[in-house]
């Protein structure tokens, strides 16, 4: 990564002069980081709020905020090592400015001078913190000066909060956890599911195809401006998220319930495959978004705004993408590891068990179901299936076969489940590697 060096600071313009380029975007990035860490709000929720920033600045805001959250463990360790006396309490913006400033000089291809200068301005604008402007300048300049040495000594495990690091080491071992942490430190690619001709769309969009047939783009830019968006030729869907719906097999002409369906990627897969889909979600607002997506894609589905726990009727097949901790999506949603905890995993596991218990009533005899979560936690995956089989004699595992479709084999476990890890699909360019962490199991209701 090429970085521009410092220019002499000279005299700082008066705050009353014309707006400083990049200042508003970096201030907004600080607000987003604080919304996540201090007010416990999901990053995407805050990003959806109206803003007067243009598209380029909005992209910069997201990159700074997401990368700060992604690399927060490393950033805090480095800041603590350079702040012998620590920071006083009651100055949250000072810490946030230091965090986002450190993120820029260490991990983003932005001019060091601009990152440091604007960080100092942001501290000076905080009445309580302005006395620390000199400290901010010194710390960030020091990080920029020592960047090469720092980057050569980083341990990716530092970026994982203790609760998550401990859980993953217990489940997958330290080496695999380190590999997961390393790939999660990199901005993810954009994966698309296409209606047809993945290779052709990959060429047209300047991307590649994954082993399982998704189209993968790097630095794609604004999604709505890409070829094929307006004509509904594809939809955004991580390559791992595109696997569970395919495990239902040939669904053409069959009645399929997609539970917890919004925003609708799996719904679109099922409808495009010819299923008569009922998309179920208890959030009417999220179903409006799903319906809009189906309209763009030219796909007809029925929608039902109800809780899956009270859904009536029977179906030939059910896809249950259960609410979960989403720890398999940390690369694209780094706020997850700062907002969730082991208590959340335990609470969500109880909800998942209740949803699984509905399958026997919703399926016709001989009907298939796929249960999936975008979680790396065994309580939300393998252990859920073991619990269901012990509670409901009507249900049995229908083992997934490694040869069901191209690229599936590496993810099929000895028990016939699907388990993807973010560290899969290594590539010389990390930005082109990996996929979300997912678990899926296929089940069948025994004939009466």
- What residues are annotated to the active site? 374
What letter would DSSP give residue 412? Answer: B
Q: Are strands 190-194 and 395-397 parallel, antiparallel or unpaired?
A: unpaired
User: 68 vs 120, 137, 164, CA distance in Å?
Assistant: 18, 18, 18
Q: Show Cβ contacts of residue 395 under 8 Å, excluding neighbours closer than 6 positions.
A: 359, 360, 388, 389, 443, 444, 445, 446
- φ, ψ at 100 (rounded to 5°): -70, -35
Cα–Cα distance measured from residue 33 to residue 75, given in angstroms and rounded to the nearest whole number: 13
The three-state secondary structure class of 274 is: coil
What count of other Cβ atoms lies within 10 Å of the Cβ of residue 41? 16
Place of tokens 């949250």: 92
User: 281 vs 134, 264, 310, 341, CA distance in Å?
Assistant: 52, 10, 11, 25
Q: Show Cβ contacts of residue 114 under 8 Å, excluding neighbours closer than 6 positions.
A: 21, 22
Q: Identify each DSSP E strand in 403-446 by its residue range.
A: 418-420, 438-445
Max CA separation in the chain (angstroms): 83
- Cβ–Cβ < 8 Å for 192, 236: yes
Question: Is the preceding peptide bond at 263 cis, omega within 30 degrees of 0?
Answer: yes
User: 302 vs 234, 267, 378, 442, CA distance in Å?
Assistant: 20, 10, 33, 24
**SS3 labels along 105-144:** HHHCCCCHHHHHHHHHHHHHCCCCCHHHHHHHHHHHHHHH
Concatenated DSSP letters of 304-349: EES-GGG--S-EEEEEEE-----GGGTTT-TTHHHH--HHHHHHHH
Cα–Cα distance measured from residue 202 to residue 220, given in angstroms and rounded to the nearest whole number: 12
């Amino acid at each position: 990564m090429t970085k521009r060096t410092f220019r002499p600071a000279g005299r700082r313009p008066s705050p009353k002069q014309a707006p400083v380029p990049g200042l508003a975007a970096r201030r907004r990035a600080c607000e987003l980081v604080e919304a996540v860490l201090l007010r416990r709000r999901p990053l995407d929720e805050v990003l959806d709020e109206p803003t007067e920033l243009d598209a380029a600045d909005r992209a910069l805001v997201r990159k700074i905020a997401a990368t700060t959250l992604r690399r927060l463990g490393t950033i805090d360790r480095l800041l603590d090592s350079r702040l012998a006396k620590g920071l006083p309490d009651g100055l949250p913006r000072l810490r946030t400015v230091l965090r986002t400033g450190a993120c820029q000089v260490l991990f983003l291809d932005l001019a060091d001078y601009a990152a440091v200068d604007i960080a100092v301005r942001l501290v000076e604008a905080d009445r309580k913190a302005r006395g620390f402007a000199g400290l901010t300048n010194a710390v960030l300049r020091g990080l920029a000066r020592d960047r090469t040495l720092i980057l050569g000594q980083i341990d990716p495990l530092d970026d994982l909060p203790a609760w998550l690091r401990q859980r993953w080491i217990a489940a997958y071992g330290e080496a695999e956890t380190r590999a997961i942490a390393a790939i999660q430190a990199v901005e993810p690619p954009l994966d698309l599911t296409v209606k047809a001709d993945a290779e052709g769309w990959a060429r047209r969009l300047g991307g590649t195809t994954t082993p399982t047939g998704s189209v993968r783009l790097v630095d794609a830019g604004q999604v709505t401006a890409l070829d094929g968006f307006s004509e509904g030729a594809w939809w955004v869907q991580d390559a791992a998220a595109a696997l569970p719906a395919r495990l239902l097999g040939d669904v053409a002409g069959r009645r399929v319930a997609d539970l917890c369906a919004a925003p609708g990627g799996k719904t679109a897969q099922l409808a495009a495959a010819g299923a008569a889909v009922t998309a179920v979600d208890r959030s009417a607002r999220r179903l409006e978004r799903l319906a809009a997506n189906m309209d763009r894609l030219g796909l007809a589905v029925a929608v039902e705004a109800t809780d899956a726990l009270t859904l009536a009727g029977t179906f030939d097949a059910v896809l249950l993408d259960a609410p979960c901790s989403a720890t398999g999506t940390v690369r694209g949603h780094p706020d997850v590891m700062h907002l969730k905890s082991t208590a959340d995993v335990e609470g969500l596991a109880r909800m998942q068990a209740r949803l699984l218990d509905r399958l026997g009533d919703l399926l016709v005899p001989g009907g298939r179901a796929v249960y999936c979560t975008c979680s790396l936690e065994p309580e939300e995956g393998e252990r859920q299936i073991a619990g269901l089989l012990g509670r409901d004699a009507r249900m049995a595992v229908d083992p997934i076969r490694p040869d069901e479709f191209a690229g599936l084999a590496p993810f099929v476990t000895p028990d016939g489940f699907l388990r993807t890890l973010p560290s899969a699909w290594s590539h010389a360019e990390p930005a082109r590697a990996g996929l979300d962490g997912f678990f899926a199991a296929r089940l069948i209701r025994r004939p009466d």
